Structure 1
Amino acid sequence: MSETMPPVFFKVANLMIGSMALLSSVSQLTYIVSNFNTFLLAIYAIPLSALIIVLEFQVPSFLYKYCSFYFSFLGRGLFYILLSFLINTGGVFKMLVTLFTFLLGLIYVAFEFLPQIEEPANFRAEGAPISVDDDDDDEII
């Protein structure tokens, strides 16, 4: 019996993480005077979280070549865990966003090892096989 996650789950989860991490990292920019290290982490977190939102609507072709970690559950999960460490400074809202991002990262890592969970359509590049490891038909004679 094969179970599949509804594609809307991944879209909603990625949009929530992207938007909450983007808001959290933009609010971290106010730490420029009091904590410059936190400000620098926000500079890194802003484009990374904005890219999560962009990937839900369009996939730039060069991104699959240079940032392939965005297109697997393991890569995306580890990326969410890294992003949670980048945005973990601040008040209660930011701590909740950090916790939610970290937990979703752990869930995505677990999805990588569950064969019944199928990857969403936006994890595949145009013209690419269903998964990154799927090279059955690539024999050269």
Structure 2
Amino acid sequence: MSETIPPVFFKAANLTIGSLTLLSALSQLRYLIYDFSAFLLALYAIPFSVLIILLEFQAIPALYRYCSFYFSFIGRGFLYILLGLLINFGGVFKVLIAVFTFFSGLVYISFEFLPQIEEPANFRAEGAPLSVNDDDDEII
């Protein structure tokens, strides 16, 4: 029995995680005077979060080349764990968002090892091979 998760689930999960971490990182920017290290961590979290949201609407070919971890379950999982650690400063709601993001990362990592769960279409870049050994070059 093959169970598949609808692609709408992944889109909703990625948009939710990206939006919550972006809002949390933006609110963390106010720590410029009180906790400069938290401010710097927010500066790192903002581009990661924006790219998560952006990838749900359009594919960026250069991103597949330089940041291929966005296009696999294990890469996204570790990215979500990293984001959960980057935004773990502040009040109760920010900590809850960080815990939610951290556990979502663990779920995404577990999806990598479950063969019945297929990766969504936006995890494959345009013109990219489907596997490591699937090269388009001819050997002469």
Q: Quote the RMSD (CA, aligned, Å).
A: 1.6
Q: 1:90 is matched with which residue? A: 90
Deviation of 1:34 after TM superposition, in Å, equals 0.5
The answer for the alignment partner of 2:69 in structure 1 is: 69
TM-superposed CA distance for 1:59, in Å, is 1.1
Q: How does 1:48-59 map to 2 (within 5 A)?
A: 48-59=48-59
Unaligned runs of 5+ in 2: none
Q: Which runs of 5+ in 1 are unaligned?
A: none
Q: Which moved more, 1:120-129 or 1:100-109?
A: 120-129
- 1:25–1:132 distance in 2 versus 1, CA, 3 Å: farther
The answer for the alignment partner of 1:135 in structure 2 is 134
Give the length in aligned residue pairs.
Answer: 140
**How far has the Cα of 1:103 moved from its partner?**
0.7
String of CA shifts for 1:12-65, please: whole Å, max 9, x gaps. 000000000000000000100110000000011111101100000001110000
What corresponds to 2:112 in structure 1?
112
Cα 1:29–1:128 change in 2 (3 A) is same
Match of 1:31 in 2: 31
Q: Which amino acid aligns with 2:98?
A: T
Q: Secondary structure at the match of 1:116?
A: coil
TM-score, scaled relative to structure 2 = 0.94
Q: Percent identity?
A: 70
1:4 maps to 4
SS in 2 for 1:48: helix
